[in-house]
Structure 1
């Protein structure tokens, strides 16, 4: 676990404790998050999960904005309970009042999309080419049939694939 990340989480908690004049239970912090999300706060487990790739690629902004964003979710939950909206007024109050940050719901980090294999299916139509996902291709191999909406013929695997 990067020391800067743990230090920033602790700083955010100390700021909240100074602001609200009370203590808060510290979370477990994990770098086991993949995909498009930069961070996730698991309210009932008191757990923060962060995306290590997005952290590495955007360290400065991640520490400034993402960490307080996720900590604010846990603080709001401890203060106001489980019935509040995730990015509602209570969370926004913490973002503005405690951390003096804009309450942005989403990050703007560049995300590397992984390439995916597409399986090419065809029908007799002039424009009858369809790119199936691996999951849909597997369903066809198990007996599922898909029809072209134009000619109503069964789509047939061409044997071709492409990477997107």
Structure 2
């Protein structure tokens, strides 16, 4: 089942994101700018707030939004905007991602502060990860590309949990 998020639906998500930022600006007497919204997430992640260097964006998964549009408008949009507001208020201090500050913003939004959704995502494609085959004395293991690169570049060793042998590239 392939469901597309229509342009009018995308516009509604962008407007709802802006509306929650306006609510926060009124509530906290601030003037946080409207944030860029992208619909480029894949896999089973529904939404993500991202702050890299001086750029802040909210990314949404268009496939999951299309399948559960109203639920995500109600839950995911305030969830991600709350991350943005907490980042704007507290910066990169030691603030936990779903800590008390984030929960307070969610409460001010009148939104549920659950951190996970319980949707049927069986027809949503999962992200494919690259693996590299390794072996020990008892079985073959597939190391993710990050761990493989650590073996190569940082001379890190990994060991089998069952036999204790060092994993070696096949």
Same structural fold, with TM-score higher than 0.5 when normalized by the shorter chain? yes
Q: 2:96 corresponds to which residue?
A: 85
4+ residue stretches of structure 1 with deviation over 3 A?
A: 133-136, 144-150
Specify the alignment match of 1:74 in structure 2: 84
Q: Which runs of 5+ in 1 are unaligned?
A: 116-132, 151-164
Residue correspondences, number: 128
Note the 1:117-132 alignment, pairs <5 A. Answer: none
- Bigger Cα Rg: 1
Write the distance in 1 (CA, Å) between the matches of 2:76 and 2:130.
33
Mark the CA change 1:77 to 1:114 in structure 2 (over 3 Å): closer, same or farther. Answer: closer
In the TM superposition, residue 134 of structure 1 has moved relative to its aligned partner by 8.1
1:106 is displaced (CA, Å) by 1.1
Residues 114 and 146 of structure 1, relative CA distance in 2, 3 Å threshold: farther
- Where 2:48 maps in the other structure, the secondary structure is strand
* Structure 1 residue 15 displacement after superposition: 0.7
CA contact (8 A) 2:43 2:125 kept: no
Change (3 A) 1:35 1:17: same
> Contact conserved, 1:39 with 1:48, CA < 8 A, in 2?
yes
Residues 75-118 of structure 1: CA deviation (Å, up to 9, x unaligned): 00001111211001110000002x11121111212212648xxx
TM-score norm. by structure 1 comes to 0.69
Which residue number in structure 2 is paired with residue 20 of structure 1? 28
**TM-score when normalising by structure 2:** 0.67
1:101 paired with 2:120, answer: no
2: CA distance, partners of 1:14 / 1:145:
55
Task: Indicate the RMSD between aligned Cα atoms, in angstroms.
Answer: 2.6
Q: Does 1:64 align with 2:67?
A: no
